[in-house]
Chains A and B, each alone.
Chain A
Amino acid sequence: MAIKIHAKKLNFYYGAHQALFDNSLEIEANRITAVIGPSGCGKSTHLRIYNRIFELYRDQRVEGELLIDGKNVLAPKVDVLELRRKIGMIFQKPTPFPMSVFDNVAYPLKLHFKLSKTKIADRVEQALRGASLWDEVKDKLKASGLALSGGQQQRLCIARAIAAEPEILLMDEPTSAIDPVATLKIEELMLELKKKFTVMIVTHNMQQAARISDYTAFFFQGYIIEFGETEQIFTNPQKTKTEEYITGRFG
């Protein structure tokens, strides 16, 4: 198996408050890894280290190493813009830009690549197809991205993320704000996405984690309590805390 991401003893601080403790993980390429745990356990904080998005805020710092394809991306000289191209992120609430459907997807292309108009149009279509949205929006590419339904907006954000040709997709509760039908579409889409990308998904929906992921990491109070194959975690967890959480005895 190819290891895409290797987190080594990550410790994270919000000012003086330590939020993550010695988080170590090895994430396999082209697999979906679910991150589960109660609110405030550090799931999103952990993911936010990967693309160094936390650096946009003052007083937040990380210790440890995060190797992507063997290179420590937390090192000072890393090109953060390039890192964020490589690591796309999808958030809980769809975040389309206030511009047309087409321009939403073209935006990262213009930002990261120098392409002709025809090439951009091709790549926009490709990304929209990749996000299973093309058939629904091909006749309204000039309409505002904000005019789409919640589920479509989320897929638009996925299209925007994959247009930049990332290698890793981080999804932070991508379906918690959309209805079950739209959720199912995104879950089906994820199976396609993992053929091209390494996917990590934070979810509060245990059934979702069980359904779609290959691996599951259980976080609790900033620690990674258990990490393993999803099937094993959900049928025979090795740690009492995991068992208690996934069976609903706490959290």
Chain B
Amino acid sequence: MKAHFIQAHTILKEMIAEIAAKAEQAVQSAVDAVDKNNVAAATRVIANDAKIDEAEIKIEEECLKILALHQPVASDLRQVITILKVNNEIERVGDLAVNIAERVADMALYQERKIEKFDFRDMVNKAKAMLKQALDAMTYHDVAIAMEVIRSDDEVDIIHRNNYGKTRDMILRYPDEAQYYMDCLTVSRCLERIADSATNICEDVIYQENGHIVRHQHSVKSDASQ
């Protein structure tokens, strides 16, 4: 019984690592495409999302199979449930990468225009790092990293709030370029949501490791910041 579960669980862990790598790559390619106004690269991100969707379904089926056939309990149960939930979050990250990529064609139209461009580098680096750390926390069962990620979510939220203000100012100043700045705001919102997904993954990791559901608890952030 145990050996069968371990085998099924190992396969599941490999599958989730694979989909996570795909989603990370999608985010990277999407933000690179924004940076370089590379419409072809953006189109590839959009096309590749189907693979992430397909992998999500396969993982979900595998989780349901394990739950039905092995009826895991305690930490085994928590690990399968965590993978089931993280799988959802990762698929969502893939969708957010697509949303970013979808803006590229439009933003590229403004390539030659002499307007003030948004600098996403700091936000991209933070969101990407959070996602990577969240996936590491899950793989290495590391609650400390998970707490660290939950804490950093505030930083990305602040950047997004600032971007909102900046968008408003720019549109007022350059009404003709409003569409470009709206695209920028979309990219910013997607990055902020990727950071949110990383945070959600970390909350699931904490549940996986110690059985406590920490979602919607403001104390977690303050605990994490101590």
Contact = CB atoms under 8 A, between A and B. Distances in A.
Secondary structure type dominating chain A contacts: helix
B173 interface: no
Nearest to B4: A248
Contact of A247 (B76, B210, B211): B76
Interface in A219-251: 234-237, 242-243, 246-249
A206 interface: yes
A248 B76 CA distance: 10
A249 B1 CA distance: 10
A247 B75 contact: yes
B211 A235 contact: yes
Interface string A196-217: 0000000000110010000000
Contacts of B78: 235-236
Contacts of A242: 74
Interface in B70-108: 71-78
Given A235-B78, A236-B211, A206 B73 contact: yes
Contact of B77 (A235, A248, A249): A235
Interface string B16-35: 00000000000000000000
A247 B2 contact: yes
Contacts of B1: 248
B2 A234 contact: no
A246 B74 contact: yes
A160 B223 CA distance: 58
Secondary structure type dominating chain B contacts: helix
Interface in B20-77: 71-77
A235 B73 contact: yes
Contacts of B76: 247
A248 B5 contact: yes
A246 B74 CA distance: 7
B31 to A, nearest CB: 39
Contact of B2 (A210, A236, A237, A248): A248
Interface string A170-213: 00000000000000000000000000000000000011001000
Interface in A79-126: none
Nearest to A246: B73
Interface residues of B, number: 13
B71 A247 contact: no
A249 B75 CA distance: 12
Contacts of B71: 207
A206 B74 CA distance: 12
Contacts of B72: 247
A248 B77 CA distance: 12
B104 to A, nearest CB: 45
Contacts of B2: 247-249
Contacts of B211: 235-236
Contacts of A243: 74-75
A243 B2 CA distance: 13
A235 B72 CA distance: 9
Contacts of A234: 73-74, 77
Nearest to B72: A247
A145 B72 CA distance: 39
Nearest to B1: A248
B57 to A, nearest CB: 26
Nearest to A245: B74
Interface of B: 1-2, 5, 71-78, 210-211
Interface of A: 206-207, 210, 234-237, 242-243, 246-249
* Shortest 6 CB-CB contacts between residues of A and residues of B: A236-B211, A248-B2, A234-B73, A247-B76, A246-B73, A243-B74
Given A235-B73, A243-B75, 10 more contacts: A234-B77, A236-B78, A237-B74, A246-B74, A247-B2, A247-B73, A247-B74, A247-B76, A248-B1, A248-B5
22 contacts: A206-B73, A210-B73, A234-B77, A235-B74, A235-B77, A235-B78, A235-B211, A236-B74, A236-B78, A236-B211, A237-B74, A243-B74, A243-B75, A246-B73, A246-B74, A247-B72, A247-B74, A247-B75, A248-B1, A248-B2, A248-B5, A249-B2
